[in-house]
Structure 1
Amino acid sequence: MIKKHWVIYGMLTIATATWGSAFIAGKIAVQSFEPATIAFLRFFGAAILLFPLMWLMEKNRQKPTLKDYGLFAVLGLTGIAVYNICFFLATKHAPVIKSSLFIASNPVLIVLLSGIFLKETITKNHIIGMVIALTGVTFIITEGHLLTLFQFGFEPIDFVLLGAVFSWALYSVVGKVVLRKYSAVESTTYAVAFGTIFLLPFALVETSWQDILSADFLTWVAISHMSIFVTVVSFIMYYYGIKEVGAAKASIFINVMPVSAVLMATFFLGETFTWAHGIGAAFVLTGVYIGTNPKILRRKLIAEESSFKRLSS
């Protein structure tokens, strides 16, 4: 069981690290298209890949009920449509420091909602792991200058960022309910299908056929990357992780996303990797390790009690 959990943790790390590349790809794509159009093209491409994959992998799948379709629609609305419109709007209009910190706060809300609605146990390790990881994320985003956070006032774009945080938290929690009956592939496929439908009207309004034809090759590479790797591969791994270890524990790995975004920006965009990035990454990895290993603090407390008893005797 322990070995299996480490495999799941590895999958969650890869999935959330891949999401970090969406910041890079999104920066490229918003040069040619508006946010809803990028989201639509990304998930339309993903749907084309996901349905054949589901038919191939899930031979004995059951027919969804009307209630199930309702849950899939909620997933498509929250995690696919609303979250991605908010994400790409923030990519285009919000400072990176502010948008990254908002999105990095996702695990906190997911853990709270999982405890309230799914009755998942919230342990001290979850809380301590989240705090340490979020500290690391903050360190990375501000490059060690924590006072930078207080330089921003509340702006209209903050409502968009709050929308991104709440929609992803709802997506993760409702996803756990859906995964009790359906596989990660089925859940992702139906969610993407509904999300693509919800995004279509927005894409039709804000984009013309001329915009499609004039987009350059790099834009299509960025969108293809988001369709294949950021969506199809990573969403399936993340959903499988939620099913195996729970939404609260899986959400801690979201803190890996800004770390990978910084590393990729350094490699692909030529940005400088600073000492603050290294310290922040260490905090994130430590927080994830503590948050996913419930026996760590227990072992430490037992060791301290044993030492105390030996000294007292």
Structure 2
Amino acid sequence: MQPKTNVPLIIAAFFAIYVIWGSTYLLNKIAVTELPPFMLAGIRFVTAGLLIFLIARLMGKSLSITPRQLKNSVIAGFLFISFGNGLVVWALRFVDSNFAALEISAQPLIILLMMWLIQGKKIQPMSLVGVFLGVCGIYLLISQKTVVQQENSFLGIFMIFLAMLAWAYGSLFVSKAEFPKNFFVNTGYQMLTGGIILGILSLGFGESWSMPWEWSAKTNWSMLLLVIFGSIVAFTSFNFLLKSVSPEKVATNTYVNPIVAMFLGGYFLKEPITTQSIVAAVVLLTGVYFINTKKKLVLLSRFRNNKVSKSQGS
């Protein structure tokens, strides 16, 4: 159980990963229409990492890190930043921002299955219902005519799926691995190393680089918001929560992120919100609900069984 003094911080962190991360789909979609995806993500995270280190030093925090912690930071940075975020930004060239958010809403399903495969964690009956609903929701989502007719849409869908696998494994890895005790410093190392890897990938794929003064105003604003809020605030909150609550609870940001992304994408980018996408969202998020309430359901079942046993014994 977390100390009471941590409760307000945990609530604020959940708000950050719920609402702020929901807006990053719109911001990335705006920026990636002008900038190459790996360059965009690389500049974002290297800048955010350096700013975090600067802020940490001004706050008097130590930036010291052990070789083991550095190794773990590189691994986490690759899984979350380079592979996880980089592929999503790349895929946003081919799919709408609200669609990407809806697909990623199946993240708890991926985490649940990965915990079963890697950790041997038993899947509860109600979670199996959630898995079934999740699969149905994904099918409804990707089978839409507006998606099928988009060029390279299925390539984008597949890349987002690979990113989800990386995030799921990264969530399990971070919850057990050793990192710097300060969550702010921990985030800085992950972002800096992940951003450097993205920069190397960008150069390797021959992306054309440009300077901020060559970008449009909306791209500059998108990058600024991505760095400050999407990276520093939200990602620090994410790392804090992974050490404070279970990975399944952290993954519940997928309840709110798609709603925020659908509203912003529809309002600012005029992205279509079809009846089928709404049904898919309801089915998907209902499945996520079943997955994330399994512990409560198990505890309730045990409580009822104990109550029956006591009444029978009296």
Q: TM-score range by the shorter chain?
A: 0.7 to 0.9
The equivalent of 2:217 in structure 1 is 217
How much does 1:258 deviate? 1.2
The equivalent of 1:68 in structure 2 is 69
In structure 2, the CA distance between the partners of 1:133 and 1:53, relative to structure 1 (3 Å rule), is farther
Amino acid at match of 1:55: R
Asked if the contact 1:115/1:122 (under 8 Å) is kept, the reply is: yes
Asked if the contact 2:20/2:234 (under 8 Å) is kept, the reply is: yes
Amino acid at match of 2:67: L
**Mean alpha-carbon deviation: is it higher for 216-225 or for 96-105?**
96-105
Asked if the contact 1:111/1:251 (under 8 Å) is kept, the reply is: no
Asked if the contact 1:125/1:294 (under 8 Å) is kept, the reply is: no
The equivalent of 2:228 in structure 1 is 228
2:279 & 2:102 partners in 1: Cα distance? 17
**Mean alpha-carbon deviation: is it higher for 64-73 or for 129-138?**
129-138
The equivalent of 1:148 in structure 2 is 144
Asked if the contact 1:100/1:258 (under 8 Å) is kept, the reply is: yes
In structure 2, the CA distance between the partners of 1:36 and 1:292, relative to structure 1 (3 Å rule), is same
Asked if the contact 2:92/2:156 (under 8 Å) is kept, the reply is: no
1:180 & 1:120 partners in 2: Cα distance? 25
Matches within 5 A, 1:117-128: 124=124, 127=127
How much does 1:54 deviate? 2.5
Asked if the contact 1:132/1:283 (under 8 Å) is kept, the reply is: no
1:185 & 1:129 partners in 2: Cα distance? 38
Q: Tell me whether 1:19 sits opposite 2:21 in the alignment.
A: yes
The equivalent of 1:257 in structure 2 is 257
The equivalent of 1:108 in structure 2 is 109
2:176 & 2:298 partners in 1: Cα distance? 30
How much does 1:5 deviate? 5.6
Q: Tell me whether 1:35 sits opposite 2:37 in the alignment.
A: yes
**Mean alpha-carbon deviation: is it higher for 298-307 or for 176-185?**
298-307
In structure 2, the CA distance between the partners of 1:120 and 1:234, relative to structure 1 (3 Å rule), is farther
The equivalent of 1:160 in structure 2 is 159
Q: Deviations over 1:54-104 (max 9, x none)?
A: 334563x47322222211111121211122221111100236676445422
SS at match of 1:92: coil
1:47 & 1:188 partners in 2: Cα distance? 7
Q: Tell me whether 1:84 sits opposite 2:85 in the alignment.
A: yes
**TM-score in terms of structure 2 length:** 0.76
The equivalent of 1:48 in structure 2 is 50
Amino acid at match of 1:177: K
Asked if the contact 1:90/1:161 (under 8 Å) is kept, the reply is: yes
1:226 & 1:68 partners in 2: Cα distance? 26
How much does 1:295 deviate? 3.6
Asked if the contact 2:106/2:288 (under 8 Å) is kept, the reply is: no
In structure 2, the CA distance between the partners of 1:182 and 1:274, relative to structure 1 (3 Å rule), is same
**Mean alpha-carbon deviation: is it higher for 191-200 or for 45-54?**
45-54
**Quick one: percent identity of the two aligned structures?**
21
How much does 1:170 deviate? 2.5
SS at match of 1:206: coil
1:115 & 1:93 partners in 2: Cα distance? 32
**Mean alpha-carbon deviation: is it higher for 226-235 or for 16-25?**
16-25
Q: Deviations over 1:216-247 (max 9, x none)?
A: 11101001111111111001111111111122
Matches within 5 A, 1:199-210: 199-204=198-203, 205-209=206-210
Amino acid at match of 1:168: W
Paired residues, number: 305
2:244 & 2:9 partners in 1: Cα distance? 11
Asked if the contact 1:128/1:291 (under 8 Å) is kept, the reply is: no
1:84 & 1:18 partners in 2: Cα distance? 15
**Mean alpha-carbon deviation: is it higher for 220-229 or for 277-286?**
277-286
Amino acid at match of 2:236: I
Amino acid at match of 2:50: I
Asked if the contact 1:26/1:222 (under 8 Å) is kept, the reply is: yes
SS at match of 2:93: helix
